Chain A
């Protein structure tokens, strides 16, 4: 079966939510919408304190070559536009706060339409203004991926339904519940890219999703492929290697090997943006973990404080140790449950206190990190260099190629915080280069 070198097999822990249909979270009273929820430049606020907005109204326009628009996720009044700490980075950035009027009045522009006459340029522009970004976690603006430069011809579109992070089931549920809409979104993207070879790839731990997508895609000519369940099967570079046997060059992008990868949830968002003219103001996210009473998959408005999701799921079941935006392998631990859901929030994971503290030992050179690294790095060696402060040496040993998938630290019997070290080294190196 299709796969790649390296990787690990963490416990899947998906049972709690994989059979639960997506529920709609009641409207929050107040939303906090950061204008930077995507890779690239933050969008620029086009509303001010006191502005009246409807659901789906543009509140931030894309600013720069790589950027995405931001929209109101509820109707009501803008309570403030100010610099608040970003939930993931902690850096202050412009955030639009909206008090909901509870009516959820849709913006006038929203509504079903026929987009069949759209040119590719119109479709791309629609996606740019709809604020559609990759929903798999990294939140890369979708329109940008769909407009590769001419010198990089694209021959394959991969639709990523792997959802290889343990605990998360949002993509899985969407594949089961909206397969036809998803395929429509895939058609739109393949049309814009002009590619014939389209593969929808799903890990073999979701046979029901494979079956559903296969029948939904039957008439489209898209191939649905099963991949061996292994983390990080859904990482872009590993996915391309597994499916096409092509290696994205170090420091390169999928388009360098003629490939574009889009998440299944993104395909759905693309379809909604075109067919319904509905910008990306909500997403489906998995709320799960051992310290939450009732794990669920929820359709949530962007900007909803996480604590409202948790309350809707019955509240905490145990003393909380860690609250994680995303999955357990790559998600970001946050320090409060007041942070808002972002476009890239594929899950909210609540771990109990026992699961959060690991005793670190000295490295015993077992080599498991090297075996686990899907990028062909030597994490143990990099760790030594970084701890000695030899950042240039770490750079020469390709620390910047680390995709922070967490396989090395997961496998490490000494529980060394390897990813922590690499993130530190990468940010220090980036800072040195900026100077």
Chain B
């Protein structure tokens, strides 16, 4: 639109020639300079020079006004506030991780968060963008990245992951808001293919008093890996039925829910993750649609798909589904913007997760399902435009 700055110089707005200043802005136009006062004052002076009239008028204003399009009030919500709220909601799970796996968890998380923020800011500076290490987005990426690592990994792994997540996945594509896949998950996938042994065997037993180096404290498989390996274990004399009975038992499910199991740093305790997630849903930072559609699909498929030895609650509670469904699939930037699109997105994640788990080569499909659906997001957005107010009747009238 045309943004207009009017000024009526001279004592008499009728008698005096009136200056109409039309500042025509383009679509990207910020019509108000960062310091409107300075700019407008300079304009007043320039005008006075042009017209020979004093800049004063009968106006009682002491300083120039800001002229911008409506609305003139904005909600309290801001990008950094949202990001930090998400970070806070992730903290209970960190507590659980420290409780179950020892202080090594805290150290890994700290390294991951700090290096994410650092790499993010450094790349922004290198690209001539304004560094925003404290907008919370890099911190959330760092947290999620660490949560996706086995607690026994060496300390350089989160650093490499953070570099990949923030530099390659986020800043190379334009920074916050422009990356097309979730940076933390992309980094996990990157680490997975680059150091598969580290990423799949460095599990710690809960309550292990692992020394900070962690390397020598490797043990036990995750519940999902355990199930996958069941087929190998059977020929060795294990009773398959007994194995499955154990895995599906109430006691085991309780352990899964509380987090007293091997697994990635942040994904073990469903309870603590749900506390944070529920908080985010209540304050409406996270849309319920994606997690509900995701987990709902997992439950339905666990009930109907053939070749599934496990109960649906085992599927929901084991692996990274709770963390993925509530905190990673819901990443604004890489998930659809419409309500309907978010449901489709969630269903897609659930479907791919279950296909990988039951028929694929990995025990866990959560992160790949989300990454694949990230790529489908633009298409989903395109297919799920909101319904225009008054659209139906218009087509009727047109006929």
Contacts and interface: CB of A to CB of B under 8 A. Distances in A.
A365 to B, nearest CB: 5
A321 B65 contact: yes
A90 to B, nearest CB: 3
B6 interface: yes
Contacts of B72: 322, 324, 328-329, 331, 333, 349, 351, 355-356
Interface of A: 5, 8, 10-11, 32, 79-80, 82, 84-85, 89-90, 92, 97, 166, 237, 241, 247-252, 256-257, 307, 310-311, 315-316, 319-324, 328-339, 349, 351, 353, 355-358, 360-368, 370-371, 373-378, 380-381, 386-387, 389, 397-398, 401, 404, 406, 409-415, 417, 419-421, 423-427
B381 interface: yes
Contacts of A324: 70, 72
A248 B6 contact: no
Interface string B14-55: 100010101001111111100010000000000000000000
Nearest to A380: B337
Contact of B390 (A8, A247, A338, A378): A247
27 contacts: A90-B6, A166-B73, A247-B389, A248-B389, A249-B394, A252-B394, A322-B67, A328-B73, A330-B71, A331-B70, A331-B72, A332-B70, A333-B68, A337-B61, A339-B6, A361-B176, A361-B177, A362-B176, A362-B178, A367-B338, A370-B386, A376-B388, A377-B388, A401-B388, A406-B71, A419-B69, A425-B27
Interface in B55-93: 57-75, 77-79, 81-82
Given A334-B6, A360-B30, A364-B176, A80 B73 contact: no
A92 B17 CA distance: 12
Contact of A237 (B18, B31, B339, B390): B390
Among A97, A349, A424, the most chain B Cβ lie within 10 Å of the Cβ of: A424
A409 B71 contact: yes
Given A330-B70, A420-B69, 15 more contacts: A90-B20, A249-B394, A250-B389, A323-B61, A328-B73, A331-B72, A336-B59, A355-B73, A362-B175, A370-B386, A371-B339, A374-B389, A413-B77, A414-B79, A423-B69
A364 B65 contact: no
A365 B63 contact: no
Interface in B158-212: 174-178
A249 B65 contact: no
A339 B5 CA distance: 12
B1 interface: yes
A398 B385 CA distance: 11
Interface string B276-290: 000000000001000
Contacts of B60: 307, 310-311, 315-316, 337
Contacts of B394: 249-252
B1 A397 contact: no
A366 B82 contact: yes
B14 A410 contact: no
Contact of A338 (B13, B79, B176): B13
A335 B389 contact: no
B73 A411 contact: no
A188 B333 CA distance: 54
Nearest to A310: B60
A335 B6 contact: yes
A90 B4 contact: yes
Among B22, B81, B397, the most chain A Cβ lie within 10 Å of the Cβ of: B397
Contacts of A364: 79, 82, 176-177, 332-333
Contact of B74 (A252, A315, A397, A409): A409
Contacts of A79: 14
B393 interface: yes
B399 interface: no
B92 to A, nearest CB: 23
A360 to B, nearest CB: 7
A414 B26 CA distance: 19
Contacts of A378: 337-338, 385-386
Contacts of A333: 65-70, 72
A321 B7 CA distance: 16
Contacts of A330: 70-71
Contacts of A367: 287, 332, 336-339, 342
Nearest to A414: B79
A366 B5 contact: no
A414 B175 CA distance: 14
A413 B81 contact: yes
Contacts of A251: 390, 394
Among B7, B14, B75, B394, the most chain A Cβ lie within 10 Å of the Cβ of: B75
Contacts of B5: 335
Contacts of A85: 4, 6, 8, 18, 20
B251 interface: no
A29 B8 CA distance: 18
Contact of B22 (A90, A307, A371, A389): A90
B391 interface: yes
A273 B53 CA distance: 44
B70 A404 contact: yes
A320 B388 CA distance: 39
Nearest to B381: A381
Contacts of A406: 70-71
B337 A319 contact: no
B6 A323 contact: no
Among B65, B66, B393, the most chain A Cβ lie within 10 Å of the Cβ of: B65
A336 B338 contact: no
B68 A420 contact: yes
Given A249-B390, A252-B390, A332-B70, A424 B27 contact: yes
Contacts of A339: 6
A249 B386 contact: no
Contacts of B77: 368, 411-413
B392 interface: yes
B298 to A, nearest CB: 23
Nearest to B335: A365
Contact of A357 (B36, B64, B70, B385): B36
Nearest to B132: A361
Contact of B66 (A92, A252, A356): A356
A257 B26 CA distance: 37
A329 B71 contact: yes
Nearest to A394: B27
Contacts of B175: 362
A308 to B, nearest CB: 10
